[in-house]
C-alpha cells in the first residue's frame, strides 16, 4: 500500500549521485543479460514490450550511509542476488527471490571495509511500487529500524527532465484494529563531493556520444545551460511562493523563509567588485588551452616513441652507421 501524502517530518535525507549511477549500472547489466532493449529508439517502437520486460529484470539492492540525528546521508549501495524461478515471471514478490545468505554475507563484508556505514534501506527499479515491495520492506526492518525505499524509474526518464527517483519511508497505521504498513513518499536532496562531480562529468561526457570529432566544450556548455535553466525555473517558483505568502494566499512557513534569507545573504556576498566574470572566463579559457597543449604534447611523445621502437626493430637500426639517427631521438 502506498500513501499519496508526503510525510511532514524533520527527517532530512541526502542522496549521493554515485548511488543512482550504481543502480543504473546494475539495471543495465541485468537488462542486457535478459535481452531487454535499452536504446531509446527500441523503447519508442516497442513500448509495451519494453515495459513488460522492464518488470522482468527488476533489480534489488541495499542502501548504505550514515546518520546524525534526523539527518541521513546515503552514499553507497550494494546489489542483491535474486533467484529467477521463471524467466518470464515478473519480480512482484522480491522476498521469495532474494538470496538472504548473500545479503548478510555482503553486509559483513561492507562492515569490515566501511565500518562507519550502516544499512538504511533498499532500492529497486520500476515506475511504481509493487505489492511485493511491502513484504520486503517489512523484512528490511530486521536490518534497520526505519528502512527507506529508493525506487528508480528506468523506463522513460529522459522525457521527464527531473531525477527519475522516488524515496519512500514506512508509516504504520491501524485499520480495523490491525496495524498496516504503508509507504509514504518523502523528499530528499542530492549531495555530492568535488570528486564525485568530476567523475560523473567524465562519465556523462564519454557516455553521450562516441564521436571523436565532437567538441568537449559543447558538452560543457550544454550542462551549464541546463543548470541555468533549472536555476531560473526554481527561482521563479521561489518568487511565486514569496508573492503568495505576501498576499496571504498561503500561510507563512518560517523555516523556508529563513532558508531563503540565508541564500539571499550568500548571493549578496558573492556580488560586487570581487565578482569579475570576465576574469573567471579568461582563467577558464587559459586552463583549457593548457590542457589542450599538454594533450597534444602527450600524443606527440607517444607517436615519437613508436617511431623510435620501430626504428630499433628494423634491420637498419642494428647498423652502427645509424646510431646518430637513434641518438637524435633518445
Q: Mind spelling out the 3-state secondary structure of 100-131?
A: HHHHHHHHHHHHHHCCCCEEEEEEEECCCCCH
Closest CA to 326 of 308, 305, 310: 308
Q: What angle do CA 36, 37, 41 make, to 5 degrees?
A: 165
The pLDDT of residue 87 = 43
The pLDDT of residue 161 = 55
Rounded to 10 degrees, what is the CA torsion of 161, 162, 165, 168?
-140
The C-alpha atoms of residue 169 and residue 150 are separated, in whole angstroms, by 9
With contact defined as beta carbons under 8 Å apart, do 56 and 62 qualify? no
pLDDT along the chain (330 residues), means of 10: 52 88 88 69 38 61 92 92 54 65 91 92 86 85 89 67 82 74 87 72 58 57 82 89 91 89 73 63 87 89 83 62 47
The pLDDT of residue 212 = 47
Lookup: cell for 232: 531560473
**Does the reported pTM lie above 0.85?**
no
The pLDDT of residue 9 = 56
Domain boundaries of the chain, sorted by first residue? 12-195, 221-275, 280-329
The pLDDT of residue 321 = 46
Closest CA to 72 of 111, 117, 29: 117
The pLDDT of residue 66 = 93
DSSP state of 82: B
Q: Say which CATH superfamily domain 12-195 falls into.
A: Cytidine Deaminase, domain 2 (3.40.140.10)
The pLDDT of residue 285 = 87
Amino acid at each position: 500500500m502506498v500513501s499519496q501524502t508526503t510525510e511532514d517530518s524533520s527527517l532530512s535525507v541526502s542522496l549521493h549521485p554515485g548511488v543512482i549511477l550504481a543502480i543504473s549500472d546494475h539495471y543495465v547489466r541485468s537488462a542486457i543479460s535478459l535481452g531487454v532493449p535499452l536504446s531509446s529508439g527500441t523503447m519508442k517502437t516497442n513500448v509495451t514490450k519494453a515495459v513488460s520486460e522492464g518488470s522482468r529484470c527488476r533489480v534489488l539492492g541495499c542502501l548504505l550511509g550514515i546518520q546524525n540525528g534526523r539527518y541521513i546521508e546515503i552514499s553507497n549501495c550494494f546489489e542483491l542476488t535474486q533467484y529467477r524461478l521463471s524467466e518470464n515471471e515478473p519480480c512482484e514478490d522480491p522476498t521469495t527471490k532474494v538470496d538472504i545468505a548473500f545479503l548478510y554475507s555482503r553486509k559483513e563484508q561492507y562492515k569490515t571495509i566501511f565500518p562507519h556505514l550502516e544499512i538504511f534501506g533498499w532500492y529497486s527499479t520500476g515506475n511504481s511500487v509493487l505489492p511485493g515491495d511491502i513484504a520486503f520492506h517489512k523484512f528490511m526492518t530486521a536490518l534497520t529500524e526505519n528502512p527507506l525505499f529508493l525506487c528508480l524509474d528506468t523506463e522513460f526518464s529522459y522525457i521527464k527532465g527531473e531525477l527519475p527517483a522516488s524515496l519512500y519511508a514506512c508509516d504504520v497505521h491501524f485499520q480495523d484494529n490491525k496495524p498496516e504498513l504503508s509507504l509514504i513518499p518523502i523528499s530528499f536532496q542530492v549531495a555530492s563531493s568535488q570528486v564525485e562531480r568530476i567523475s560523473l562529468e567524465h562519465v556523462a561526457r564519454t557516455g553521450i556520444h562516441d564521436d571523436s570529432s565532437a567538441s568537449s566544450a559543447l558538452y560543457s556548455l550544454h550542462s551549464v545551460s541546463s543548470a541555468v535553466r533549472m536555476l531560473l525555473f526554481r527561482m521563479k517558483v521561489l518568487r511565486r511562493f514569496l508573492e503568495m505568502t505576501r498576499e496571504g494566499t498561503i500561510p507563512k512557513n518560517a523555516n523556508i523563509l529563513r532558508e531563503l534569507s540565508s541564500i539571499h545573504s550568500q548571493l549578496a556576498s558573492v556580488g560586487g567588485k570581487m565578482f569579475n566574470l570576465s576574469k573567471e572566463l579568461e582563467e577558464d579559457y587559459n586552463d583549457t588551452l593548457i590542457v589542450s597543449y599538454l594533450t597534444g604534447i602527450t600524443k606527440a611523445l607517444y607517436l615519437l616513441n613508436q617511431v623510435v621502437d620501430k626504428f630499433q626493430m628494423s634491420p637498419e637500426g642494428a647498423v652502427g652507421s645509424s646510431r646518430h639517427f637513434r641518438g637524435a631521438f633518445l
